[in-house]
Chains A and B, each alone.
Chain A
Amino acid sequence: MYQIEISSKKGFKDVHGEHTLSEISGLGIKQVEKVSYSQVYEIHGEINPAQANEIAEELLSDKITEKPLVKKIETGGSRSAVNSKLSVIEVWYKKGVTDTVSESVAKAVKDLGIKEEIKVKTGHKYYLYGNLSQKILNTIATKLLANTLIQEYKIK
Protein backbone atom coordinates (compact mmCIF):
# COMPACT_ATOMS: atom_id res chain seq x y z
CA MET A 1 0.00 0.00 0.00
CA TYR A 2 1.27 3.45 -0.86
CA GLN A 3 0.37 6.66 0.82
CA ILE A 4 0.68 9.73 -1.39
CA GLU A 5 0.56 13.08 0.31
CA ILE A 6 0.11 16.22 -1.76
CA SER A 7 1.10 19.59 -0.36
CA SER A 8 1.91 23.06 -1.69
CA LYS A 9 5.40 23.69 -3.01
CA LYS A 10 7.47 26.23 -1.15
CA GLY A 11 6.65 29.71 -2.39
CA PHE A 12 3.07 28.89 -3.33
CA LYS A 13 0.13 29.91 -1.23
CA ASP A 14 -1.40 27.11 0.86
CA VAL A 15 -4.95 28.45 0.52
CA HIS A 16 -6.64 25.55 2.32
CA GLY A 17 -4.21 25.83 5.24
CA GLU A 18 -4.68 29.60 5.52
CA HIS A 19 -8.45 29.26 5.26
CA THR A 20 -8.48 26.58 7.95
CA LEU A 21 -6.43 28.83 10.25
CA SER A 22 -8.94 31.62 9.72
CA GLU A 23 -11.84 29.27 10.51
CA ILE A 24 -10.10 28.05 13.67
CA SER A 25 -9.71 31.64 14.74
CA GLY A 26 -13.42 32.07 14.07
CA LEU A 27 -14.07 29.34 16.63
CA GLY A 28 -12.38 31.56 19.22
CA ILE A 29 -9.22 29.44 19.34
CA LYS A 30 -6.20 31.70 19.16
CA GLN A 31 -3.39 29.29 20.10
CA VAL A 32 -2.90 27.95 16.58
CA GLU A 33 -0.10 29.84 14.86
CA LYS A 34 -0.12 28.21 11.46
CA VAL A 35 -1.92 25.44 9.55
CA SER A 36 -0.53 23.47 6.61
CA TYR A 37 -2.86 21.29 4.57
CA SER A 38 -2.22 18.10 2.61
CA GLN A 39 -4.53 15.93 0.55
CA VAL A 40 -3.77 12.27 1.21
CA TYR A 41 -4.41 9.24 -0.98
CA GLU A 42 -3.90 5.62 0.02
CA ILE A 43 -3.43 3.34 -2.96
CA HIS A 44 -4.04 -0.34 -2.29
CA GLY A 45 -3.10 -2.85 -4.97
CA GLU A 46 -0.25 -4.61 -6.72
CA ILE A 47 1.45 -1.57 -8.18
CA ASN A 48 5.20 -1.06 -8.22
CA PRO A 49 7.13 2.00 -6.96
CA ALA A 50 7.49 3.44 -10.47
CA GLN A 51 3.74 3.26 -10.96
CA ALA A 52 3.11 4.85 -7.55
CA ASN A 53 5.42 7.70 -8.51
CA GLU A 54 3.75 8.08 -11.89
CA ILE A 55 0.32 8.29 -10.21
CA ALA A 56 1.65 10.85 -7.75
CA GLU A 57 3.41 13.04 -10.29
CA GLU A 58 1.21 12.75 -13.36
CA LEU A 59 -2.18 12.58 -11.73
CA LEU A 60 -2.50 13.53 -8.09
CA SER A 61 -0.27 16.58 -7.87
CA ASP A 62 -0.22 19.80 -9.83
CA LYS A 63 3.14 20.05 -11.58
CA ILE A 64 3.38 23.77 -11.01
CA THR A 65 2.19 24.36 -7.45
CA GLU A 66 2.25 21.06 -5.57
CA LYS A 67 4.72 18.41 -4.49
CA PRO A 68 3.92 14.75 -3.86
CA LEU A 69 5.40 12.60 -1.12
CA VAL A 70 5.15 8.89 -1.84
CA LYS A 71 5.57 6.43 1.01
CA LYS A 72 5.25 2.67 0.94
CA ILE A 73 3.28 1.64 4.02
CA GLU A 74 3.75 -2.03 4.94
CA THR A 75 1.57 -2.19 8.01
CA GLY A 76 -0.53 0.92 7.60
CA GLY A 77 0.78 2.25 10.87
CA SER A 78 3.97 4.19 10.31
CA ARG A 79 3.70 7.96 10.34
CA SER A 80 6.22 10.68 10.78
CA ALA A 81 7.04 11.75 14.31
CA VAL A 82 5.83 15.12 15.49
CA ASN A 83 7.41 17.68 17.78
CA SER A 84 5.74 19.30 20.76
CA LYS A 85 4.67 22.40 18.80
CA LEU A 86 3.23 20.40 15.92
CA SER A 87 0.02 18.41 15.99
CA VAL A 88 -1.50 16.54 13.07
CA ILE A 89 -5.17 15.86 12.52
CA GLU A 90 -6.08 13.33 9.84
CA VAL A 91 -9.63 13.05 8.53
CA TRP A 92 -10.83 9.96 6.67
CA TYR A 93 -14.20 8.57 5.63
CA LYS A 94 -15.65 5.96 7.96
CA LYS A 95 -15.80 2.41 6.69
CA GLY A 96 -18.86 1.91 4.50
CA VAL A 97 -19.14 5.54 3.40
CA THR A 98 -18.83 6.03 -0.35
CA ASP A 99 -15.63 7.86 -1.23
CA THR A 100 -16.51 9.37 -4.60
CA VAL A 101 -13.08 10.89 -5.20
CA SER A 102 -11.52 7.46 -4.81
CA GLU A 103 -13.68 6.16 -7.66
CA SER A 104 -12.55 9.04 -9.89
CA VAL A 105 -8.91 8.40 -9.01
CA ALA A 106 -9.24 4.69 -9.86
CA LYS A 107 -10.75 5.61 -13.25
CA ALA A 108 -8.00 8.15 -13.93
CA VAL A 109 -5.27 5.64 -13.01
CA LYS A 110 -6.68 3.31 -15.68
CA ASP A 111 -6.68 6.22 -18.16
CA LEU A 112 -2.98 6.65 -17.36
CA GLY A 113 -2.47 3.15 -18.72
CA ILE A 114 -1.97 1.35 -15.39
CA LYS A 115 -3.98 -1.85 -15.68
CA GLU A 116 -3.52 -3.25 -12.17
CA GLU A 117 -6.66 -3.23 -10.05
CA ILE A 118 -6.38 -0.72 -7.25
CA LYS A 119 -8.48 0.56 -4.41
CA VAL A 120 -8.13 4.14 -3.26
CA LYS A 121 -8.89 5.88 -0.01
CA THR A 122 -8.79 9.65 0.27
CA GLY A 123 -8.24 11.77 3.34
CA HIS A 124 -7.07 15.13 4.61
CA LYS A 125 -4.13 15.98 6.79
CA TYR A 126 -3.87 19.21 8.79
CA TYR A 127 -0.58 20.21 10.41
CA LEU A 128 -1.29 22.59 13.26
CA TYR A 129 1.52 24.62 14.83
CA GLY A 130 1.26 25.91 18.39
CA ASN A 131 1.01 24.61 21.95
CA LEU A 132 -2.33 22.83 21.67
CA SER A 133 -4.04 20.70 24.27
CA GLN A 134 -5.89 17.50 23.42
CA LYS A 135 -9.14 19.31 24.26
CA ILE A 136 -8.44 22.09 21.75
CA LEU A 137 -7.48 19.57 19.07
CA ASN A 138 -10.69 17.63 19.66
CA THR A 139 -12.71 20.83 19.41
CA ILE A 140 -11.04 21.77 16.11
CA ALA A 141 -11.54 18.27 14.73
CA THR A 142 -15.19 17.89 15.70
CA LYS A 143 -16.41 21.45 15.11
CA LEU A 144 -14.48 22.19 11.94
CA LEU A 145 -12.48 19.51 10.20
CA ALA A 146 -14.54 16.33 10.39
CA ASN A 147 -18.19 15.56 9.82
CA THR A 148 -18.30 12.85 12.44
CA LEU A 149 -21.44 11.27 10.97
CA ILE A 150 -19.44 10.08 7.99
CA GLN A 151 -15.81 10.84 8.85
CA GLU A 152 -13.41 9.79 11.55
CA TYR A 153 -10.38 11.69 12.70
CA LYS A 154 -7.04 10.83 14.23
CA ILE A 155 -4.92 13.20 16.28
CA LYS A 156 -1.16 12.58 16.13
Chain B
Amino acid sequence: MKKVKVLILRTAGTNCDYETQAAFELCGAFAERVHINALIENKNKIFEYDILAFPGGFSYGDDIASGKILANEIKNKLGDKVKKFALSGRPIIGICNGFQVLVKMGLLPDSKLFKQVSTLSYNDSDKFECRWVYLKTVRNEELGVRNLNTAEIKCLWSRNLPDIITLPVAHGEGKFIPESKSLLESLNKSNQIVFRYCDKNGLQPQYPLDPNGSMRQIAGISNDKGNVFGLMPHPERYVYALQHPSRESFNGEHGWGKVIFQNAVDYVK
Protein backbone atom coordinates (compact mmCIF):
# COMPACT_ATOMS: atom_id res chain seq x y z
CA MET B 1 0.00 0.00 0.00
CA LYS B 2 1.27 3.45 -0.93
CA LYS B 3 2.50 5.59 1.97
CA VAL B 4 0.92 9.01 1.58
CA LYS B 5 3.44 11.83 2.06
CA VAL B 6 2.39 15.11 3.65
CA LEU B 7 4.38 18.35 3.66
CA ILE B 8 3.60 20.53 6.67
CA LEU B 9 4.99 23.97 5.93
CA ARG B 10 6.30 25.86 8.93
CA THR B 11 8.00 29.16 9.58
CA ALA B 12 8.73 31.54 12.45
CA GLY B 13 5.64 31.59 14.66
CA THR B 14 4.01 28.40 13.39
CA ASN B 15 2.88 26.46 16.46
CA CYS B 16 0.40 23.80 15.35
CA ASP B 17 2.78 21.88 13.10
CA TYR B 18 3.45 19.01 15.52
CA GLU B 19 -0.25 18.42 16.17
CA THR B 20 -1.00 18.53 12.45
CA GLN B 21 1.79 16.05 11.84
CA ALA B 22 0.41 13.76 14.55
CA ALA B 23 -3.09 13.97 13.03
CA PHE B 24 -1.90 12.92 9.58
CA GLU B 25 0.27 10.14 11.04
CA LEU B 26 -2.72 8.85 13.00
CA CYS B 27 -4.42 8.47 9.62
CA GLY B 28 -1.56 6.40 8.25
CA ALA B 29 0.38 9.08 6.37
CA PHE B 30 4.05 10.01 6.56
CA ALA B 31 4.05 13.68 7.53
CA GLU B 32 7.13 15.88 7.49
CA ARG B 33 7.50 19.38 8.88
CA VAL B 34 9.48 21.47 6.40
CA HIS B 35 10.72 25.01 7.03
CA ILE B 36 9.87 27.49 4.30
CA ASN B 37 13.54 28.38 3.81
CA ALA B 38 14.31 24.73 2.99
CA LEU B 39 11.50 24.70 0.45
CA ILE B 40 12.63 27.97 -1.13
CA GLU B 41 16.14 26.49 -1.52
CA ASN B 42 14.71 23.42 -3.25
CA LYS B 43 11.40 24.51 -4.75
CA ASN B 44 10.64 21.29 -6.60
CA LYS B 45 10.77 19.37 -3.32
CA ILE B 46 7.08 20.26 -2.99
CA PHE B 47 6.23 17.75 -5.71
CA GLU B 48 7.70 14.90 -3.65
CA TYR B 49 4.56 15.13 -1.50
CA ASP B 50 0.93 14.15 -1.99
CA ILE B 51 -0.66 16.60 0.45
CA LEU B 52 0.31 20.12 1.48
CA ALA B 53 -0.68 21.51 4.89
CA PHE B 54 -0.46 25.08 6.17
CA PRO B 55 -0.77 24.69 9.94
CA GLY B 56 -2.03 27.11 12.54
CA GLY B 57 -0.03 29.51 14.65
CA PHE B 58 1.09 33.11 14.50
CA SER B 59 3.40 33.21 11.49
CA TYR B 60 5.76 36.18 11.76
CA GLY B 61 3.99 37.26 14.92
CA ASP B 62 0.78 38.12 13.04
CA ASP B 63 2.60 41.34 12.09
CA ILE B 64 0.75 43.60 9.61
CA ALA B 65 -2.18 41.12 9.62
CA SER B 66 -2.47 37.43 10.40
CA GLY B 67 -0.94 35.31 7.64
CA LYS B 68 -0.08 38.32 5.49
CA ILE B 69 3.72 38.12 5.61
CA LEU B 70 3.81 34.37 4.97
CA ALA B 71 1.27 34.72 2.16
CA ASN B 72 3.40 37.46 0.60
CA GLU B 73 6.54 35.31 0.94
CA ILE B 74 4.95 32.20 -0.56
CA LYS B 75 3.32 34.11 -3.40
CA ASN B 76 6.54 35.83 -4.39
CA LYS B 77 8.98 32.98 -3.85
CA LEU B 78 6.99 29.78 -4.31
CA GLY B 79 3.83 31.00 -5.98
CA ASP B 80 4.09 29.10 -9.27
CA LYS B 81 4.94 25.84 -7.49
CA VAL B 82 2.12 26.10 -4.96
CA LYS B 83 -0.37 27.01 -7.69
CA LYS B 84 0.79 24.06 -9.82
CA PHE B 85 0.43 21.77 -6.80
CA ALA B 86 -3.13 23.03 -6.24
CA LEU B 87 -4.16 22.76 -9.89
CA SER B 88 -2.78 19.21 -10.03
CA GLY B 89 -5.68 18.26 -7.77
CA ARG B 90 -3.57 17.24 -4.79
CA PRO B 91 -5.15 18.01 -1.42
CA ILE B 92 -4.15 21.22 0.36
CA ILE B 93 -5.39 22.28 3.78
CA GLY B 94 -4.96 25.58 5.60
CA ILE B 95 -5.91 25.58 9.26
CA CYS B 96 -6.56 28.86 11.09
CA ASN B 97 -3.39 30.85 10.33
CA GLY B 98 -2.95 28.52 7.35
CA PHE B 99 -6.44 29.45 6.13
CA GLN B 100 -5.51 33.13 6.46
CA VAL B 101 -2.41 32.44 4.35
CA LEU B 102 -4.41 30.64 1.63
CA VAL B 103 -6.97 33.43 1.42
CA LYS B 104 -4.44 36.26 1.48
CA MET B 105 -2.26 34.73 -1.22
CA GLY B 106 -5.39 34.04 -3.26
CA LEU B 107 -5.20 30.24 -3.54
CA LEU B 108 -8.69 30.30 -2.04
CA PRO B 109 -11.36 30.55 -3.20
CA ASP B 110 -10.12 30.50 -6.82
CA SER B 111 -6.84 28.60 -7.21
CA LYS B 112 -6.66 29.36 -10.95
CA LEU B 113 -7.13 33.10 -10.45
CA PHE B 114 -4.58 33.06 -7.59
CA LYS B 115 -5.55 36.56 -6.46
CA GLN B 116 -6.90 37.81 -3.15
CA VAL B 117 -10.65 38.27 -3.49
CA SER B 118 -11.69 37.66 0.11
CA THR B 119 -10.21 38.13 3.54
CA LEU B 120 -10.25 37.00 7.13
CA SER B 121 -10.54 40.18 9.13
CA TYR B 122 -10.60 41.08 12.82
CA ASN B 123 -13.24 39.36 14.93
CA ASP B 124 -16.22 41.61 15.60
CA SER B 125 -15.32 41.48 19.31
CA ASP B 126 -11.77 42.73 18.54
CA LYS B 127 -10.64 39.94 20.86
CA PHE B 128 -8.93 36.59 20.57
CA GLU B 129 -11.77 34.04 20.67
CA CYS B 130 -10.92 30.57 21.97
CA ARG B 131 -13.64 27.94 22.55
CA TRP B 132 -15.42 24.89 21.18
CA VAL B 133 -17.97 25.71 18.48
CA TYR B 134 -20.57 23.86 16.45
CA LEU B 135 -20.13 23.63 12.71
CA LYS B 136 -22.72 22.83 10.11
CA THR B 137 -21.37 20.69 7.30
CA VAL B 138 -22.67 22.40 4.20
CA ARG B 139 -23.92 20.11 1.49
CA ASN B 140 -25.27 20.93 -1.92
CA GLU B 141 -27.93 23.38 -0.80
CA GLU B 142 -29.47 23.78 -4.23
CA LEU B 143 -30.25 20.09 -4.32
CA GLY B 144 -31.27 20.05 -0.69
CA VAL B 145 -29.10 17.06 -0.02
CA ARG B 146 -28.97 16.19 3.65
CA ASN B 147 -27.30 12.83 3.84
CA LEU B 148 -23.82 11.41 3.91
CA ASN B 149 -23.69 10.71 0.20
CA THR B 150 -20.10 11.70 -0.53
CA ALA B 151 -20.87 12.36 -4.19
CA GLU B 152 -22.83 15.46 -3.17
CA ILE B 153 -19.95 16.99 -1.25
CA LYS B 154 -17.49 18.86 -3.42
CA CYS B 155 -14.76 19.31 -0.82
CA LEU B 156 -12.83 16.07 -0.49
CA TRP B 157 -11.83 16.98 3.07
CA SER B 158 -15.37 17.18 4.48
CA ARG B 159 -16.83 13.88 3.32
CA ASN B 160 -18.24 11.33 5.77
CA LEU B 161 -19.18 13.97 8.32
CA PRO B 162 -22.63 14.39 9.86
CA ASP B 163 -24.66 17.59 9.59
CA ILE B 164 -23.22 19.08 12.78
CA ILE B 165 -19.78 18.58 14.29
CA THR B 166 -17.80 20.34 17.00
CA LEU B 167 -14.26 21.69 16.79
CA PRO B 168 -12.29 24.27 18.75
CA VAL B 169 -11.46 27.75 17.45
CA ALA B 170 -8.65 30.02 18.60
CA HIS B 171 -8.17 33.19 16.59
CA GLY B 172 -8.32 36.97 16.59
CA GLU B 173 -8.83 37.43 12.84
CA GLY B 174 -11.39 34.97 11.54
CA LYS B 175 -14.18 37.06 10.10
CA PHE B 176 -14.60 35.86 6.51
CA ILE B 177 -15.45 38.67 4.08
CA PRO B 178 -15.64 38.23 0.29
CA GLU B 179 -14.98 41.22 -1.96
CA SER B 180 -18.56 41.31 -3.24
CA LYS B 181 -22.03 39.90 -2.81
CA SER B 182 -21.75 38.24 -6.19
CA LEU B 183 -18.68 36.33 -5.04
CA LEU B 184 -20.58 35.21 -1.95
CA GLU B 185 -23.45 33.97 -4.11
CA SER B 186 -21.02 32.27 -6.43
CA LEU B 187 -19.38 30.44 -3.50
CA ASN B 188 -22.83 29.35 -2.39
CA LYS B 189 -23.93 28.23 -5.81
CA SER B 190 -20.75 26.35 -6.58
CA ASN B 191 -20.93 24.58 -3.23
CA GLN B 192 -17.58 25.94 -2.02
CA ILE B 193 -18.78 26.82 1.48
CA VAL B 194 -17.75 23.82 3.54
CA PHE B 195 -18.56 24.78 7.14
CA ARG B 196 -20.72 27.41 8.80
CA TYR B 197 -20.82 28.23 12.50
CA CYS B 198 -24.14 27.15 14.02
CA ASP B 199 -25.73 26.43 17.39
CA LYS B 200 -26.11 22.91 18.74
CA ASN B 201 -29.32 22.47 16.74
CA GLY B 202 -27.76 23.65 13.50
CA LEU B 203 -29.47 27.03 13.63
CA GLN B 204 -27.95 30.47 13.21
CA PRO B 205 -25.68 31.12 16.20
CA GLN B 206 -25.22 34.19 18.33
CA TYR B 207 -21.92 35.30 19.86
CA PRO B 208 -20.03 33.51 21.38
CA LEU B 209 -20.98 30.43 19.30
CA ASP B 210 -20.50 32.72 16.31
CA PRO B 211 -16.96 33.70 17.32
CA ASN B 212 -16.16 36.35 14.74
CA GLY B 213 -19.14 37.70 12.77
CA SER B 214 -18.16 36.01 9.49
CA MET B 215 -20.48 36.74 6.58
CA ARG B 216 -23.16 34.06 6.47
CA GLN B 217 -21.35 32.38 9.38
CA ILE B 218 -18.69 30.98 7.05
CA ALA B 219 -16.05 28.95 8.90
CA GLY B 220 -14.42 27.09 6.02
CA ILE B 221 -14.34 27.15 2.22
CA SER B 222 -12.82 25.15 -0.61
CA ASN B 223 -11.78 25.91 -4.16
CA ASP B 224 -14.06 24.94 -7.02
CA LYS B 225 -12.38 21.57 -7.47
CA GLY B 226 -12.71 20.76 -3.76
CA ASN B 227 -9.08 19.83 -3.17
CA VAL B 228 -7.93 23.11 -1.56
CA PHE B 229 -9.62 23.66 1.77
CA GLY B 230 -9.26 26.25 4.50
CA LEU B 231 -10.98 26.59 7.85
CA MET B 232 -10.63 28.64 10.99
CA PRO B 233 -11.39 25.83 13.49
CA HIS B 234 -8.67 23.35 14.42
CA PRO B 235 -9.42 19.76 13.33
CA GLU B 236 -5.97 18.63 14.53
CA ARG B 237 -7.05 19.50 18.08
CA TYR B 238 -9.85 16.95 17.99
CA VAL B 239 -8.57 13.68 16.60
CA TYR B 240 -8.98 11.80 19.90
CA ALA B 241 -12.00 11.76 22.22
CA LEU B 242 -9.57 12.61 25.01
CA GLN B 243 -9.14 16.09 23.54
CA HIS B 244 -12.86 16.90 23.91
CA PRO B 245 -14.04 18.48 27.19
CA SER B 246 -16.78 15.81 27.50
CA ARG B 247 -14.70 13.04 25.89
CA GLU B 248 -17.24 12.80 23.07
CA SER B 249 -16.41 10.52 20.17
CA PHE B 250 -18.11 9.12 17.12
CA ASN B 251 -16.51 5.70 17.47
CA GLY B 252 -15.48 5.54 21.10
CA GLU B 253 -11.95 6.66 20.39
CA HIS B 254 -11.66 9.47 17.84
CA GLY B 255 -12.92 12.99 17.23
CA TRP B 256 -14.33 14.58 14.07
CA GLY B 257 -10.99 16.10 13.15
CA LYS B 258 -9.64 12.66 12.35
CA VAL B 259 -12.32 12.17 9.69
CA ILE B 260 -11.13 15.32 7.93
CA PHE B 261 -7.50 14.20 7.76
CA GLN B 262 -8.47 10.61 6.94
CA ASN B 263 -10.54 11.82 3.99
CA ALA B 264 -7.48 13.38 2.36
CA VAL B 265 -5.19 10.45 3.09
CA ASP B 266 -7.75 7.98 1.71
CA TYR B 267 -8.32 10.20 -1.34
CA VAL B 268 -4.62 10.01 -2.23
CA LYS B 269 -4.47 6.25 -1.66
A interface residues (Cβ-Cβ under 8 A, vs B): 12-13, 15-16, 18-19, 58-60, 62-65, 100-101, 104-105, 107-108, 111-113
C-alpha spacing A12/B72, complex, angstroms: 23
The 6 closest A-B pairs by CB, nearest first: A104-B63, A19-B126, A64-B119, A15-B126, A15-B122, A101-B63
Is A65 touching B121 in the complex (CB atoms < 8 A)? yes
Query: How many pairs, one residue from A and one from B, have CB atoms within 8 Å of each other in the complex?
Result: 65
Is A108 touching B126 in the complex (CB atoms < 8 A)? no
B interface residues (Cβ-Cβ under 8 A, vs A): 60-61, 63-65, 68-69, 72-73, 76-77, 116-119, 121-126, 177-179, 213
Is A101 touching B61 in the complex (CB atoms < 8 A)? yes
Is B122 touching A16 in the complex (CB atoms < 8 A)? yes
Taking the closest CB of chain A, its distance from the CB of B161, in whole angstroms, is 29
State the main secondary structure of chain A at its contact with B: helix
Considering the complex, give the chain A residue whose CB is closest to the CB of B69: A108
Among candidates B121, B125, B213, residue contacting A62 with C-beta atoms closer than 8 Å: B121
Is A64 touching B124 in the complex (CB atoms < 8 A)? no
Is B61 touching A104 in the complex (CB atoms < 8 A)? yes
Among candidates B69, B77, B117, B124, residue contacting A104 with C-beta atoms closer than 8 Å: B69
Apart from A15-B123, A64-B177, A104-B63, 13 more pairs, CB < 8 Å: A12-B121, A18-B126, A60-B64, A62-B121, A63-B179, A64-B178, A65-B121, A100-B63, A101-B64, A107-B60, A108-B72, A111-B76, A111-B77
Complex contacts, B179 vs chain A, CB 8 Å: 63-64
C-alpha spacing A4/B258, complex, angstroms: 44
Complex contacts, B61 vs chain A, CB 8 Å: 100-101, 104
Considering the complex, give the chain A residue whose CB is closest to the CB of B179: A64
Would you give 9 A-B contacts (Cβ < 8 Å), ordered by A? A15-B124, A16-B126, A58-B72, A62-B65, A63-B119, A64-B178, A100-B61, A105-B64, A111-B69
Tell which of A16, A59, A107, A108 has the most Cβ of chain B within 10 Å: A108
Is A107 touching B69 in the complex (CB atoms < 8 A)? yes
Is A105 touching B63 in the complex (CB atoms < 8 A)? yes
Taking the closest CB of chain B, its distance from the CB of A41, in whole angstroms, is 9
C-alpha spacing A64/B119, complex, angstroms: 6
Complex contacts, A19 vs chain B, CB 8 Å: 126
Complex contacts, A111 vs chain B, CB 8 Å: 69, 72-73, 76-77
Among candidates A16, A59, A64, A65, residue contacting B72 with C-beta atoms closer than 8 Å: A59
